[in-house]
Structure 1
């Protein structure tokens, strides 16, 4: 059985004037369908570049990337836009909510642009915001806003959920609650979730741990002793 995500010998080089910056050098890994994967590495290691290429926000210099058997590294601009729209859910460190829309309207906005969306109210209830649907972002705490952002990503019913430092702007306990929500979503929906973090303690909650260093995949391993988020300390 082939992997759900295949990242093969990927190089990414940025040119600034005469200088070449090698963000990724021969990065290779795979992720199985329905896995909760943590990609861990220091700042500047190349993990955000991996996320951007996986999410169709950036192109690679050489190598190949496949999602669910489809080679996304060969897609043109128009096809990449459709790929981002239909196949990928994004959760970032900052919530990127539309301030003059309610929580429900923020989620509905994402649902409108995809093929097979989930019900906005239902998803908001699932992330624990059933009572806050009519609130605007300014009336919500940071943790609640991040839950709206997760609900918005989930409402698209994506094949792959990509999370870039999703707890970066949250306090410890709220961060744990958000990570638990992501882990539960992966388990209950069978959704493939990738979390990018510099916090190596989070590796304990993952099915698969990919360590990135200096633009290379230093290690990839399956976790045989998965720990509940509540039991992880950092």
Structure 2
């Protein structure tokens, strides 16, 4: 049984009397411990797919299972609990609380879940051992993104979802962040899903899903995963 299972998932948004299909019959699987990169142009349906998988949006039709549990049938309270316990989120913009230190930003997330990791230890692992007492405004963009990743990892989630995690970063910093994600996945066995419009990033993935106009175009296993430091774009 796959860790993530999407089966004929559709999502239709309604604007007045107009129906806007965001996903059509999306079917794919992701195995436990894989890095999965979902690639597609803006408006292809990547974020809708990620939001459904993360329990932030509901689907119109189909089934979504995580670790054997049918999350597509969850009510609002169950989805809140699912987001809190099982999923870590990393967004393009860091969403840090400005009047809390890096350590406090990570600690506040760790308090929400049953088996958190030590916040200070996770910050050390992402290379911020010396910056724990700094506020977000005192950190570079790359450092703030590392805090955001540490915040997600400290929850000890089953699934780490990343929405264009390097979109607001320069090239070198972006590569460092992707290397951190790849190394973390390998070290911990966590399942990581990254959505991006940058097709070069598919080289770092165990599984590549291509999406266009709300439809899954292809799902392929990458037989030769490339370390992030060897990828150029």
Any residues of structure 2 matched to 1:186-205 within 5 Å, and which? Answer: 186-205=185-204
Q: Give the Cα separation in 2 of the matches to 1:14 and 1:97.
A: 29
Q: Does 1:156 align with 2:155?
A: yes
- 2:97 counterpart SS class: coil
The residue correspondences of 1:105-184 to structure 2 (distance < 5 A) are 105-184=104-183
Residue 18 of structure 1: CA displacement?
1.1
Segments of structure 2 that go 5 or more residues without pairing to the other structure are none
- How many residues align structurally? 233
What is the deviation of 1:15? 0.7
SS of 1:52 mapped into structure 2: helix
Aligned-pair Cα RMSD in Å: 0.3
User: Deviations along 1:124-144, whole A, 9 cap, x unmatched?
Assistant: 000000000000000000000
Tell whether 2:90 aligns with 1:91: yes
Partner of 1:66: 65
Counterpart of 1:179 in 2: which secondary structure? Answer: helix
1:93-149, CA deviations, whole angstroms, 9 ceiling, x for partnerless residues? Answer: 000000000000000000011000000000000000000000000000000000000
TM-score by length of 2: 1.00
For 1:83, what is the secondary structure of its paired residue?
A: helix
CA distance in 2, matches of 1:186, 1:36: 7
Distance 2:55 2:225 in 1: 30
Residues of 2 paired with 1:62 and 1:42: CA distance? 23
Deviation at 1:60, TM superposition (A): 0.2
* Match of residue 225 from structure 1: 224
Question: Matches of 1:53 and 1:185 in 2, distance apart?
Answer: 24
State the SS of the aligned residue for 1:157: coil
- Residues in 1 aligned to 2:10 and 2:51: alpha-carbon distance in whole angstroms: 13
Query: Quick one: distance in 1 between partners of 2:156 and 2:6?
Result: 22
TM-score (normalised: structure 1) = 0.99
Deviation at 1:30, TM superposition (A): 0.4
Q: CA deviation at 1:220?
A: 0.3
**After TM superposition, which residue ranges in structure 1, 4 or more long, deviate above 6 angstroms?**
none
Separation in structure 1 between the aligned mates of residue 4 and residue 203 of structure 2, nearest angstrom = 21
Residue 77 of structure 1 pairs with residue 76 of structure 2 = yes
Tell me, in whole angstroms, the C-alpha distance in 1 between the residues paired with 2:34 and 2:227: 15
Rounded to whole Å, the distance in 2 between the matches of 1:112 and 1:231 is: 37
